[in-house]
Amino acid sequence: MTPTPDLLSNDHESVDSSSRPDLSHTGHEVESADPQRAADEAAADGEEEEELFEHFRFTAESGQRPLRVDKFLFNFLNGVSRNKVQQAAEAGAIRVDGKPVKSNHRMLPGQTVAVVLSRPPREIELLPEDLNLEVVHQDADFVVVNKPAGMVVHPAYGHYSGTLVNGLMHLFQELPFTSDRDRPGLVHRIDKNTSGLLVVAVNDYAMTHLAKQFFDRSTDRRYTAIVWGNLAADEGTITGNIDRSLRDRKVRQVVPDGARGKHAVTHYKVLERFGFATVVECKLETGRTHQIRVHFQYIGHPLFNDTEYGGDEMRAVPYSPPNFKAFVHNAFVVCPRHALHARTLALDHPKTGERLQFSSPLPEDLQALLDKFRKTQAYNPE
């Protein structure tokens, strides 16, 4: 059966390889999304199949446990429901090692699954948008912006507009590109629901210089986070390799044995205690995806209201205010995202070498959350 045009859409178009989920260093092979003619064999009546175009291709790594193909794809295709994946399989649009499969097909290590449709993949077009970005610093070489929570940094699958990059394209006619054509000027990123500071290069020289600072770890980035529970020590260091989870490829996990993943180090210092929660300052020694969120989940103190790492669940704590369940529910309403803010950023100016530091106050939702915590009987200023 030839796939229908709206399969997997969910109001989103499929995209080229530059806007797929970042699968580098995961053991998964990601093929190019260039159009591919899927004329496998002529049908029995002598007619050829309609020309199909490959939109996504993923290869199961050696450690992959047997998993239904619809669940496997659901872990990769952000913004697409599992029901849409199942519909695509029923239409013959899901192929494993070149053959159409049903949604209950179990993926095995080494097998390759591809999504093919009757239309070519949509290429990302970087359209300028006036998003009223908050610019903290701007000169001829770089700009520092204060990103609000909820804003995606660059266009990707399901997010073709309203991103930070779209706003930057409105402010600047040209920004330097790396190999990732959808990420002009970017030398680092923060999560969609993390607020705070990012530096963006305005020219090629600054791009190279700033990227080297991040590579050499000479920048100083500090975050304010609110985590569940009462941390035992006033300061400490969390070390653990971070890699994609084998159970849910949209999230990361600490790999204790260090056999895979990337080395990651987070330093923290307690700023304020509430008994049931702790405010910490985090200093990144490395910059891995979801690093702070993964590391604090690993030590049993996930970020407050972190839906991907268990922070949105009611947790047993030794000290809590009266009517704790209702209190926590109201707190989630006050701050409807994980409690993390990129508060300070220090770096060397690409041209002058001067050490510069920028800061951003806590946004309204995090400040309101702290104010709520401070009014509880659990708050102990000592």
11 is known as an active-site residue: no
Distance CA 233, CA 270 (A): 8
Strand ranges in the chain using DSSP code E only, listed in sequence order: 53-59, 67-68, 94-96, 99-100, 106-107, 112-117, 134-138, 142-147, 195-201, 220-228, 235-239, 241-244, 252-255, 265-273, 277-284, 340-348, 355-359
**Which tokens is 6 given?**
């709206």
Rounded Cα gap, residues 52 and 177, in angstroms: 31
Residues linked to residue 348 through DSSP beta bridges, in sequence order? 355
Nearest CA to 245 out of 233, 261, 234 is that of: 261
Among 293, 116, 268, 108, which Cα is nearest to 194's?
A: 293
Candidate list 191, 243, 306, 365, residue with the active-site label: 191
Query: Do 310 and 297 form a contact (C-beta atoms < 8 A)?
Result: yes
Mapped onto helix, strand or coil, the DSSP state of residue 254 is strand
Q: At what angle do helices 324-334 and 364-374 cross, to 10 degrees?
A: 160
Catalytically active residues, by annotation:
191
